[in-house]
Amino acid sequence: MSSESKDDRVFKALSHPRRRQLLDLLRDQPRTTGALCEAFPEMDRCTVMQHLKVLEEAELVIARREGRERWNHLNAMPIKQIHDRWISEYATHAVSILDRLKADLER
């Protein structure tokens, strides 16, 4: 799979606010699917599972079975890769422009 299609899956997964909320919960600690469902009482279990599936396909969530429970773990590496590829390059460019602007204003 090309890195661009991986990036597309990550961006798609991050585009929905509920999926970002799920990731926020998993950032603190791994949680069972049942615990995630309880955190979102306005959604039925099937909807939570569909969101988790999108997150798994983007490799943002890794699910592990332990007996009858399904534990969901955050995998932050795809987000870091997006940051390294897209955000840090543009942020560096923006900072250099601000530095030049500051120098011009100080003259």
Per-residue pLDDT reduced to its tens digit, 44-86: 999 999 999 999 999 999 999 999 999 999 999 999 998 888 8
Q: Is the pTM of this model over 0.85?
A: no
Close Cβ partners of 63 (under 8 Å, ≥ 6 residues apart)? 33, 52, 56, 70, 71, 72, 73
Q: Per-residue b/e over 8-18, b at no fewer than 16 CB within 10 Å? A: ebbeebbeeee
Report the pLDDT value the prediction gives residue 85, as an integer from 0 to 100.
83
Domain made up of 3-75: CATH architecture = Orthogonal Bundle (1.10)
According to the 3-state scheme, what is the secondary structure of 41-81? CCCCHHHHHHHHHHHHHCCCEEEEEECCEEEEEECCHHHHH
Q: Per-residue b/e over 20-44, b at no fewer than 16 CB within 10 Å? A: eebbebbeeeebebeebbeebeeee
pLDDT grade, residue 90 (50/70/90)?
Answer: confident
